[in-house]
């Protein structure tokens, strides 16, 4: 078997040749993207391929899931409810239902150790990528994501492993047979759109005349905002909150507690009051200089982070663009930087270092391959990697991020980054690609392994 590349060359992926005279060959592209080749013996008898077997295993969908194609009893399943998406308090509308003797052994993407069942449940509800978790008596919680493939169910009275594990599947609360389907909700929205369109259409002419008269009577020019094109429209589009300077001044206690300093400003700890009188801790990055290059960095950072939603990246909550004040509000990450974690006493275990390194790689992969616009961070280092309450790594500080459109493969820009983590391309006037982040990732990856600092020195020659 071989793959034909775009330059008409071939790449063999399977060197063993099988004669079609002896076997039936079958190639299948599965729903999860795996391309597989199967061979079936042409021999006859009780196990022959030509024998009709009436004792095939039965397939069924989990509760609140149904067949995608009702005529294919061995086909894929679909959810009978709208899947969880990223958003505030979204986890309150979902629950986990227990399914015994069932597992999807190839769907693991995260492991949590020393968790009880309640903590395992909450970890899945807080993660929009989590589709199910498997929990056992060893207090290990395995999180799984879609697509869930190659599911297995043990016979009655038997478990599929020695951990006495059971599966908890995420579903919509009350999403049983009586709950409205996504299709029904779509029809309701269609009728609402039609009704609104009729009302808007009948008033369009009146509105046009009113605006024309208003434009004649008011000729005052609007002074351009110091913040450029970052305003309410951008906030609504990106689902961000616009803060006033007074709100953030009160939240930070007059910028009292400093968390850290970056290239373009200082980060302070703050507390925001919610509608239910509770408080949420945030990190407020205050850009203390209003030079032209900082203005551009502010716009870039708001636009970039506002579109990013990933478990290994710091989430942007909102911003302030009032007068000469430029501030960005992030979620607060409680356990500080990776740099402090690595060199504390006692030293972190090898398992923790391995898990953190994999999490960082997932975050970088998302920036490079899974965003609508490729994002180069340009300053990957332990000081820019934070650890959340579960010690999962979260990449922060996108103030140096460089965006690439999808049809670009490289860019030329000024030297960015931190000594010891800067790729050689920066010093050679070479085009900058996403590989500079891969190089910078190697340095903090080396540190979790060796717990040694390293600086690469490049001579002018």
286 is in an annotated binding site: yes
**Pairing relation of β-strands 94-100 and 258-261?**
unpaired
Query: How many C-beta atoms surround the C-beta of residue 71 within 10 A?
Result: 6
Give me the sign of the Cα torsion angle 228, 229, 232, 236: negative
Q: Which of 313, 331, 433 is nearest to 374 (CA)?
A: 433
Contact 377, 437 (CB under 8 A): yes
Catalytic residue, from 188, 288, 352, 379: name it: 379
> Is 126 known to be catalytic?
no
Question: Burial letters for 84-115: b for 16+ Cβ neighbours within 10 Å, e otherwise?
Answer: beeeeeebeebbbeebebbbbeebeebebeeb
Distance of alpha carbon 33 from alpha carbon 212, whole angstroms: 56
- The residues assigned a catalytic role are 379
| Residue ranges of the binding site for ATP | 286
Q: Please enumerate, by residue number, every residue annotated as part of a binding site.
A: 286
């Amino acid at each position: 078997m071989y793959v034909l590349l775009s330059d008409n060359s071939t790449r063999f992926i399977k060197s063993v040749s099988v004669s079609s005279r002896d076997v039936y060959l079958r190639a299948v592209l599965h729903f999860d993207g795996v391309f597989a080749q199967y061979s079936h013996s042409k021999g006859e008898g009780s196990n022959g391929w030509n024998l009709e077997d009436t004792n095939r295993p039965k397939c069924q969908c989990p509760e609140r899931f149904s067949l995608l194609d009702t005529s294919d009893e061995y086909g894929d399943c679909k959810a009978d409810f709208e899947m969880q998406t990223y958003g505030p308090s979204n986890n309150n509308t979902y629950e986990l239902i227990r399914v015994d003797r069932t597992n999807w052994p190839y769907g693991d993407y995260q492991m949590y150790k020393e968790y009880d069942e309640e903590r395992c449940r909450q970890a899945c509800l807080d993660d929009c990528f989590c589709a199910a978790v498997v929990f056992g008596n060893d207090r290990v919680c395995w999180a799984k994501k879609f697509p869930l493939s190659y599911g297995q169910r043990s016979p009655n009275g038997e478990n599929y492993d020695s951990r006495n594990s059971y599966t908890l599947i995420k579903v919509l609360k009350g999403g049983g047979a009586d709950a409205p389907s996504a299709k029904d909700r779509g029809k309701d929205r269609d009728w609402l759109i039609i009704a609104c369109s009729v009302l808007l259409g009948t008033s369009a002419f009146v509105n046009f005349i009113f605006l024309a008269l208003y434009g004649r009577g008011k000729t005052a020019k609007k002074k351009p905002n110091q913040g450029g094109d970052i305003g309410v429209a951008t906030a609504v589009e990106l689902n961000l909150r616009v803060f006033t300077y007074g709100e953030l001044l009160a939240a930070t206690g007059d910028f009292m507690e400093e968390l850290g300093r970056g290239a373009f400003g200082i980060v302070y700890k703050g507390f925001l009051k919610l509608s239910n009188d509770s408080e949420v801790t945030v990190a407020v990055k205050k850009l203390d200089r209003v030079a032209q290059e900082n203005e551009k960095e502010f716009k870039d950072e708001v636009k970039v982070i506002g579109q990013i939603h990933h478990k290994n990246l710091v989430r942007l909550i909102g911003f302030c663009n009032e007068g000469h004040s430029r501030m960005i509000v992030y979620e607060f990450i409680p356990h500080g930087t990776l740099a402090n974690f690595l060199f504390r006493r006692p030293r972190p275990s090898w398992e923790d270092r391995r898990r953190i390194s994999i999490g960082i790689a997932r975050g970088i992969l998302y920036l490079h391959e899974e965003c609508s616009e490729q994002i180069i961070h340009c300053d990957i280092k332990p000081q820019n990697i934070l650890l959340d309450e579960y010690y999962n790594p979260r990449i922060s500080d996108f103030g140096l991020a460089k965006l690439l459109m999808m049809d670009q493969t490289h860019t030329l820009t000024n030297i960015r980054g931190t000594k010891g983590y800067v790729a050689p391309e920066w010093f050679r006037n070479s085009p900058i690609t996403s590989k500079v982040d891969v190089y910078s990732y190697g340095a903090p990856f080396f540190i979790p392994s060796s717990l040694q600092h390293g600086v690469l020195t490049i001579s002018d020659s």
